[in-house]
Amino acid sequence: MKNAQARTTYLKDYQPPAFTIESTQLRFDLHEDHASVESILLFRRNQREGEPTSDSLVLHGSHLLLVALQLDGKQLNQTDYLLDDESLTISGLSELLGRAPDHFELRCETRIEPQNNTALEGLYKSKKMFCTQCEAEGFRRITYYLDRPDVMSTFTTTIVADKEKYPVLLSNGNRIASGEVENDSSRHWVTWEDPFKKPSYLFALVAGDLVSMDDSFTTVSGRDISLQIFVEEKDLDKIDHAMTSLKNAMRWDEEVYGRKYDLDIFMIVAVDDFNMGAMENKGLNIFNTSCVLANPKTTTDFSFQRVEAVVAHEYFHNWSGNRVTCRDWFQLSLKEGFTVFRDSEFSADMGSRTVKRVEDVAFLKTVQFAEDAGPMAHSVRPDSYMEISNFYTVTIYEKGA
């Protein structure tokens, strides 16, 4: 059997989406051997004057079992859509709807297996905890969706799980409701609402047995923000520095950039098996523990500085990356390079500007210059890529900054 040939994505081929998603409602029912995901998506046509009208909807999806699909309340059968390993296509929308597809609702139920998701993309099981990583294209492993940065939607997420095994259920936004599952007191649910539109790569979910350090921050306008850092109980004595760094970053972004935090709560979760350093999901940052934990008895000065910089970097993304995001992945350095510049300026103000500049130049000369001189050399905004995961380089981050 031949391997599938890698496809190249070209900047020149960019096309705006035919449809946008106004709102996204998700319900996760988490079990030990699977997770059921129900989505309710409100679509609206994105046609621009002079463009041809699209009568087909093509959604991204990978490693999903489709259980049920409804279009404006009508149950679709297998003759109404086409499935392959990477997409779900519904053709003839006008005929199925009985009208022009200017706006419509799509309900979808999928079944996934987080415990077997070794790619650590989408929703996966990290030891005894459920966790997500959706940048760059992980959300398509959760449900069928327009998994691209230029499709932005409000999200309301309900998580249902065993109350004893997963007492903490987190997602993006503000917590608006919770309770026990009717007729099953062993399971509970929590609903989160993110009122600010975001692309799917910024979606986050965490379910586990965690403890938190709680604090607060008062914005320059007098608004109180709840702050929480969640860790395993064994690590609770190692997050004081991360909390201090977070509050310093929030204050600095107000004073230097005039950017105030915009939700009622900001949360960080530290995960041993998180496959990246950290991720700026809106209101719910997920970190590898190496980027959060610091104890004066065992941690070097360099590691303390790294925690401060990474916590600040992910917080700064709230505006440079989240509220103001990319049109496509070719613009990756506009959020990453700019945010590295912002966290570098923050670190310089927190410590020595001269020392920070020397460190930055030394890193460029030893690491980024070597990349520029080798086979991985590429421009800050290349014209094409074959695999988006290989795009997260020091050229994008450091040279971009």
Residues with a catalytic annotation lie at 314
Report the first-to-last Cα separation within the chain, whole angstroms.
44
Closest to 135 (Cα-Cα) out of 272, 290, 325? 325
Is the Cα torsion angle 341, 342, 344, 348 positive or negative in sign? positive
DSSP code at position 366: I
Give exposure, 227-249, as e/b (b: 16+ Cβ within 10 Å): bbbbbbeebbebbebbbebbbbb
Q: Which residues contact 128 (CB under 8 A, 6 or more apart)?
A: 165, 208, 209
Report the alpha-carbon angle 212-275-343, nearest 5. 70
Cα–Cα dist 156/191, whole Å? 7
Contact 220, 257 (CB under 8 A): no
Structure tokens at 377: 């050399």
Cα–Cα dist 291/229, whole Å? 12
Closest to 387 (Cα-Cα) out of 114, 5, 116? 5
β strands within 152-271, DSSP E: 153-162, 168-171, 174-181, 184-198, 205-208, 211-218, 224-231, 265-271
Distance of CA 50 to the CA centre of its chain: 34
Report the alpha-carbon angle 37-43-49, nearest 5. 155
Cα–Cα dist 297/300, whole Å? 9
